[in-house]
Amino acid sequence: MPNIRPISDLRNNANEISEFCHREQEPVFITRNGVGDIVVMSIEAYERQQSLIELYSKLSEAEAEIANGAEGKDFFEYARKLRTHVSRKV
């Protein structure tokens, strides 16, 4: 269930809102005059969300390439080569 607060809470209880965002890893929706206005979230939650968006974008590109006839590589073979390459450098 979303946490919805009026903008006056943001002014008067910023620390409480910040603690909630960090503890729950959930955004707080701020309203102005009863209408949604902004969303507040922790930097960690924001970065996680941005990473997921980037991942979904890359997966979408890969699916489009495969649909257009591009050949993929076997994951296990690629992982084995990567492990071998990394262990030579360590």
- Phi-psi group of 85: left, alpha or beta (phi > 0 → left; psi -120 to 50 → alpha; rest → beta): alpha
Report pLDDT for 73: 80
pLDDT over 90 at 80, yes or no: yes
- d(CA 28, CA 44) in angstroms, rounded, equals 14
Segment 6-54, tens digit of pLDDT: 999 999 999 999 999 999 999 999 999 999 999 999 999 999 999 999 9
Shared domain check, 22 and 54: no
The answer on 52 and 32 residing in a single domain is no
**Can you give the residue range of the structural domain that contains 56?**
45-89
Quote the pTM value: 0.69
